[in-house]
Amino acid sequence: MKNQNLFHYTLQHADNCLILGQRLGEWCGHGPILEQDIAMTNISLDLIGQARMWYQYAAEIQGEGKTEDDLAYLRDAWDYRNVLLVEQPNGDFAKTIFRQFLFDSYSCYFYEALMNSSDEHLAAIAAKSHKEALYHIKWSADWVVRLGDGTEESHERMTAAVAELWPYSGELTKANKTEAEASKDGIGIDLQALKERRDAKIREVLTEAALTIPESTYAHEGGKDGRHTEHLGYILADLQFLQRAYPGLEW
């Protein structure tokens, strides 16, 4: 492989998009109202579309004749490099919204910065994905405010979602070895600079939503290095069943 770090960097972001897209797709037909059911399904499709671009480039870098499907469907859980946040269960609508907001508040700034990558292919993926990420953050931030500053019950549910998911937010902006090398080489981004912008956005939205910003800085981590919660295995069992049951299946 000509550039192993670039491959792992690309794969890491592909996995984030695929797993969150799969999670969000579980809401299809179960949304609280039809409009938001469709909105979540559309965001899921956007994320899976982004994952396809990442996987296609990863397969090209790998140079082993594999396809995007091979990378998505024929790897085991310990080979995935997504952050732990995206594999967390949907829970209720409030939990899904806050999980999405935490990811969106990262991805919109991630893609904006990545458009300046010295790798033209990464810059192109970022330019296309950034347009979608801007819609995603507007949607999820609006719902955080509506639920947080809504009824007594919606406020309580959002408060519970914040408490449960906050420890998973730190992993997104803490660079692992792959990301540190990518930033140093000019193909990746400076996660510390992104963190400052991400944190400011979170503070702005939670304040407007009348939600308390957690003081804890503890962060669950390990997903970027292949150490996952039990939830990922169940996601992959659904996601990969057809391809593993019928290898080489073509539509």
What pLDDT shows up at residue 249? 76
Q: What is the mean pLDDT of the segment spanning 241-250?
A: 85
Number of domains the chain is built from: 1
What pLDDT shows up at residue 200? 97
**Is residue 251 in some structural domain?**
no
**Is residue 146 in some structural domain?**
yes
Q: What is the mean pLDDT of the segment spanning 115-126?
A: 97
Q: What is the mean pLDDT of the segment spanning 128-142?
A: 98
Work out the percent of the chain whose per-residue pLDDT is above 90.
91
Is the pLDDT score of 243 beyond 70? yes
- Residue numbers of the domain that contains 202: 4-245
pLDDT digits over 212-227, tens only?
Answer: 999 888 999 999 999 9
Q: What is the CATH number of the domain that holds 170?
A: 1.20.1260.10
The whole-model pTM stands at 0.95
**Is residue 154 in some structural domain?**
yes
**Is residue 83 in some structural domain?**
yes
**Is residue 41 in some structural domain?**
yes
- Average pLDDT, whole number, for the chain? 95
Is the pLDDT score of 134 beyond 90? yes
Q: For residue 230, which of 88, 80, 26, 82 has the smallest C-alpha distance?
A: 88
pLDDT digits over 165-210, tens only?
Answer: 999 999 999 999 999 999 999 999 999 999 999 999 999 999 999 9
**Is residue 224 in some structural domain?**
yes
**Is residue 250 in some structural domain?**
no
d(CA 104, CA 107): 5
Q: What is the mean pLDDT of the segment spanning 56-83?
A: 95
**Is residue 174 in some structural domain?**
yes
Is the pLDDT score of 1 beyond 70? no
